Amino acid sequence: MTFQDIFKSSFLEKAESFSALDFMIAMGFAFVIGLFIFLVYKRTFNGVMYSAGFGVSLIALTLITTLVILAVTSNIVLSLGMVGALSIVRFRTAIKEPLDIAYLFWAIASGIVLGAGLLPLAVLGSLFIGVVLFIFVNRRPTDHPYIMIVSCNGKSENAVLSTLKGNVKKQVLKSKTVSAEGMEMTMEVRLKGGDTGFVNEIADLAGVKSAVLVSYNGDYMS
């Protein structure tokens, strides 16, 4: 054993085999694609409350995934250890919007493809996904659904239904609650040209306590 063998380190050998140029190219593309995912998420968000932190996490997730895949592809032994280490990670954050899951997988998939060195696939795939999301998520339905909630007594039920039927394109009874104080009906309605004057007519009917019209995004659980 020579003097050089004593100070020979496998860690330093791995550092010497590391390509700084490949790292900069992969992380640069990861940042650009992550930023693109963030902008698409910001422009297509139609939920209740927009979370800027979730948008920034999409950029970070793309960068982190790219970094992990770069390390895994450089060493087979490290890849096995990385799989075991990541298998114990658990995320407890609840995803409120179903579409947010698609953005998370998009960021992870982009990082994996970039880390594998398939730059054209990552760029073209992200552009295609972004265009699809822009087209379908921003598409506004021509027949927007509303929820009509009417509190009345039993004698005015027929008058409410007949007035509603003559002023909307479609009505579907979702729930009906009857008590000693009266009844409450919840109906899904489709408006005629956006006219909401019928709500005032129903509220003025005899025996009607209140009439409420609420817009909703269609995520109704029956």
What is the tally of structural domains in the chain? 2
pTM: 0.61
Percent of the chain with pLDDT strictly greater than 90: 10
Of 123-132, 171-180, 187-196, the least confident = 187-196
pLDDT tens sequence across 147-162: 888 888 878 888 888 8
Q: Report d(CA 107, CA 36) in Å as an integer.
A: 10
Average pLDDT, the chain: 78
Q: Report d(CA 164, CA 181) in Å as an integer.
A: 22
pLDDT of residue 6: 47
Structure tokens at 59: 């950029």
Of 18-22, 186-190, 198-202, the least confident = 18-22
120 and 181 fall within a common domain: no
Distance between the two ends of the chain, CA-based, in angstroms? 77
pLDDT of residue 78: 59
pLDDT tens sequence across 86-124: 555 565 666 667 788 888 888 989 988 888 888 899 899
Read off the pLDDT band of 203 (50, 70, 90).
Answer: confident
* Phi, psi (deg, nearest 5) at residue 32: -65, -45
Q: Report d(CA 103, CA 187) in Å as an integer.
A: 33
132 and 33 fall within a common domain: yes
Beta bridge partners of 175: 186
156 and 120 fall within a common domain: no
Q: Which residues contact 135 (CB under 8 A, 6 or more apart)?
A: none
Would you say residue 75 lies in a domain?
yes
Q: Report d(CA 118, CA 26) in Å as an integer.
A: 10
103 and 41 fall within a common domain: yes
Q: Which domain holds residue 23?
A: 3-137
Does the pLDDT value for residue 214 go beyond 60?
Answer: yes
- Residue 65: count other Cβ atoms within 10 Å of its Cβ: 21
Is residue 58 within 8 Å of residue 34, measured between CB atoms?
yes
Q: What is the mean pLDDT of residues 40-49?
A: 78
Would you say residue 30 lies in a domain?
yes
Q: Report d(CA 141, CA 209) in Å as an integer.
A: 32
pLDDT of residue 127: 93
**End residue of a domain, out of 87, 119, 137:** 137
Read off the pLDDT band of 7 (50, 70, 90).
Answer: very low
Instruction: Choose between 177 and 16: higher pLDDT.
Output: 177
Read off the pLDDT band of 222 (50, 70, 90).
Answer: very low
186 and 78 fall within a common domain: no
Would you say residue 101 lies in a domain?
yes
H or E element: which one contains 219? none
162 and 98 fall within a common domain: no
Structure tokens at 19: 């390509």
- For residue 11, count CB atoms less than 10 angstroms from its CB and return exposed for 0-12, middle for 13-18, buried for 19 or more: exposed
pLDDT tens sequence across 60-78: 989 988 888 887 776 655 5
Residue type at 14? Answer: K
Q: Report d(CA 192, CA 180) in Å as an integer.
A: 34
**End residue of a domain, out of 108, 137, 166:** 137
171 and 131 fall within a common domain: no
Would you say residue 173 lies in a domain?
yes
